[in-house]
Structures are given as C-alpha cells and as structure tokens.
Amino acid sequence: MPLVHMSLLHRLTMRLLFVCVGNSCRSQMAEGIARSLGHDAASAGTHPASEVSPNAIKVLQSRGLSTEDLHPKLIDDIDWQSYDMIVSMGCGVNCPMIRIDQDWGLDDPVGQPMEVFETCADIIEERIKSL
C-alpha cells in the first residue's frame, strides 16, 4: 500500500518550470502560486528583468502567498531537464534548446491595471490546478 500512496503523491506534486521573456510578471506569479499548491516550481526568462513586477508581488501577497524567494532568473542558468513540465506563459518564447510542454498564451499584464494582474493570476491558478 505505501507504494500506491507514494505513486499518487508523485502525480500530485510536480516539478514545474514557467518560462517567458522578462520573468517579472506571469511566470513569477505562476511560480508563487504553484508553490502554494504544493508543487516544486521555478520560473525563468530568456531576457530577465532586473526585478519582479511590484504588481505581481502585490497580487501574490494579497492571496497570502510568500514572495520571499522570487527574483528574475535566466533560463540558461536553470537545469530545465529536471522538470516534469515546462510551461511557456505565451509571450512568444523561442527556446530551441529546451522543450516546451504547454504554451498558455497569456497576455503580459505589465503596465496594466491591478485588475489585469489579478485576472491573470486567477487563470494561472486554474490551469495549475488542472494539471
């Protein structure tokens, strides 16, 4: 019976990598949300910004989620092969060296009102829960 339980636990907990260009909004929110749902998650970008979007931080904190370890990371510094699934956030990321398992096609909320960030986070949470 413990083997069945371990197998079920493995299917529920995934190693997820969220990629985009700037790694400052969508992919950071996805990383934070996925971690809050019990997944081992990371995010990275092809051209990472210098900081996480303040609105992305506000949205996560308003949901009671930790933002402590969130910071933009370069995809080249990530061992992407160790992840169960790699998700492009939908910003036309072209990473010929890595596999992309899903492209979520989300519009970048940068520069948009707070409501756009909140809607984006809601969509991200729904999609992570459906994996």
Q: Does 120 qualify as catalytic in the annotation? A: no
Q: Which of 44, 57, 91, 106 is catalytic?
A: 91
Q: Which of 16, 17, 19, 20 is catalytic?
A: 20
Q: Does 20 qualify as catalytic in the annotation? A: yes
Cβ neighbours of 72 (radius 10 Å):
19
E strands, the chain, in order: 15-20, 40-45, 85-88, 102-103
Q: Does 25 qualify as catalytic in the annotation? A: no
**Token pair listed for 38:** 């019990």
Distances (CA, A) of 86 to 31, 69, 131: 12, 20, 12
Q: Which of 37, 49, 95, 100 is catalytic?
A: 95
| Residues identified as active-site | 20, 91, 95
